[in-house]
Amino acid sequence: MTIHSPGRRLRWWILLILLLILGLMLRLVLTGSEGGSPAGPPPKIERPPSHYLLSEEKRALIEVLEGFIADLQTPTHLSGAERIATLNRSLNRSAAILEPASQIALGSTAVFKFPLRRMAEELSELDPEALQKVSKHFTERGYRNGGESWTFDPLEEVLYQLAFHDLDYIQPVHAMQIMACEVKGDREPIRTLLERQNAGDYTKADTVRQFFTGNTSTRSGWRQMRRALTVLDPTALRGCTWAELGYGTGQIFEAVREVVGPSGVVIGVEIGPGYEALVDRISRRHALAWGEIKLVRGELDDCRLPAESVDIVHEAGIHVGVGTPETLERETIPWLKSVKKALRPGGIMVLDDCGYPSLEGLRRVMARAGFEELKVVDLSVAGTPATQPDFVAAFRKPVGGARTLPGP
């Protein structure tokens, strides 16, 4: 046997080729890891954060907000005192950020009111006095949004309550996540939330998102009251019985209590199911401002109030004027007649945002129900194109020799 036999030579060639291939592969792997080939870990790309365009103040506020969200999501075993200290720290940090910042720099700070408020509320449950100090702190600095104090107006308050306390609505942490994403301009987590919402996981995510844009702050119970007082004499309202028809989320109750005073009676009438429970829950938080409120379940054709039991009936947004000729006969006229019956002689019905395309239409229907016109105030803003005239109207139940009630 010699080593030069052809079979042995072939084996040597095969071995040599295999060694060469192996060497080449080894080289490729080594150079690949140096040069960032797909075989190695993904290269780190430095990207600016999605909210890099935000001002320093907003970034800092987001940090506080995110810390708070994390806090809410993580079950901590902090003692009450530690929790108070944490919340106080967050609120004071927010106050310190807001204090030197100009309104222009902060722009849409409306979105920050909600987490601030949420923190404040957490704090109030643990230590009401601490909350008072913090509220004072913010209010004294005149921290404002769109002309309103940072303290919520009643509508915002109600929206807030809906968002954070009504279990049918979205959970606070998710709402705050949505808000944080909006502020950062990072829509991806919102999309995920909405997908989950569509899958029946969360409800009203989009509505909640709208709340935080601040678009709702122009409507409020106090604003409605200011409008009502353009047709009513405020000095004659103390001690009155005021029925709020279609109270919705009860945003006007605080203002009503203020004008009728502690000796006045406040009644709310709603047709929608579930409002009693909602308003009852909210009113417990506002026990002092709202006082006792009687809630009545009305019908589309009957307000279900006892005869001659109320002095003032107010509605805002029931849209009396919307409907067909058939619903006018079947519901609206009987309903208005039931309202007239519930009023004491001389009692007043105030209609605001009643949905009538013209004052004439409202006049006709009120006359048919037996009311007499007391005062109409046109609140349309000159030069603003409006689809409907903006007016507040007061009509009176004719006096039959009995007590006359507060006209302008």
Q: Which residues of the shown chain bind ligand SAM in the complex (CB under 6 A)?
A: 245-249, 251, 269-272, 298, 300, 316-318, 335
> At a CB cut-off of 8 Å and minimum separation 6, what does 306 contact?
342
User: What is the closest distance, in whole angstroms, from the C-beta atom of residue 360 to ligand SAM in the complex?
Assistant: 22
Distance, CA of 357 to CA of 81 (rounded, Å): 58
The amino acid present at 306, given as its one-letter code, is P
Residue closer to ligand SAM (CB basis): 101 or 312: 312
Angle CA 64–65–69, to nearest 5: 120
User: What is the closest distance, in whole angstroms, from the C-beta atom of residue 206 to ligand SAM in the complex?
Assistant: 19
User: What is the closest distance, in whole angstroms, from the C-beta atom of residue 406 to ligand SAM in the complex?
Assistant: 21
Burial 143-177 (b: 16+ CB within 10 A, else e): bebeebebebbbbbbbbbbbbbebeebbebbbbbb
User: What is the closest distance, in whole angstroms, from the C-beta atom of residue 339 to ligand SAM in the complex?
Assistant: 9
> At a CB cut-off of 8 Å and minimum separation 6, what does 141 contact?
95, 98, 99
Residue closer to ligand SAM (CB basis): 112 or 391: 391
User: What is the closest distance, in whole angstroms, from the C-beta atom of residue 71 to ligand SAM in the complex?
Assistant: 33
Residue closer to ligand SAM (CB basis): 205 or 318: 318
Distance, CA of 126 to CA of 118 (rounded, Å): 13
Please give the helix or strand (H or E) that residue 395 lies within, else none: strand 391-396
Residue closer to ligand SAM (CB basis): 134 or 392: 392
CA-wise closest residue to 141 among 182, 96, 195: 96
User: What is the closest distance, in whole angstroms, from the C-beta atom of residue 108 to ligand SAM in the complex?
Assistant: 24
Residue closer to ligand SAM (CB basis): 68 or 335: 335
| Torsion angle, alpha carbons of 364, 380, 388, 341, to 10 | -40
User: What is the closest distance, in whole angstroms, from the C-beta atom of residue 397 to ligand SAM in the complex?
Assistant: 18
CB 390 within 8 A of CB 378: yes
Residue closer to ligand SAM (CB basis): 113 or 314: 314
Residue closer to ligand SAM (CB basis): 69 or 255: 255
Helices (H), 47-168: 56-73, 80-98, 103-106, 110-126, 128-140, 154-165
User: What is the closest distance, in whole angstroms, from the C-beta atom of residue 315 to ligand SAM in the complex?
Assistant: 7
Residue closer to ligand SAM (CB basis): 65 or 342: 342
Helix, strand and coil in the chain, % to nearest 5? 50, 15, 35
User: What is the closest distance, in whole angstroms, from the C-beta atom of residue 155 to ligand SAM in the complex?
Assistant: 7
Residue closer to ligand SAM (CB basis): 134 or 320: 320
Q: What is the largest CA-CA distance in the chain?
A: 141
Residue closer to ligand SAM (CB basis): 90 or 220: 220
80-98 vs 128-140: helix axis angle to the nearest 10?
0
User: What is the closest distance, in whole angstroms, from the C-beta atom of residue 318 to ligand SAM in the complex?
Assistant: 5
One DSSP character per residue, 207-221 reads: HHHHHTTTTTTT--H
Instruction: For residue 81, report the phi and psi dihedrals to the nearest 5 degrees.
Output: -65, -40
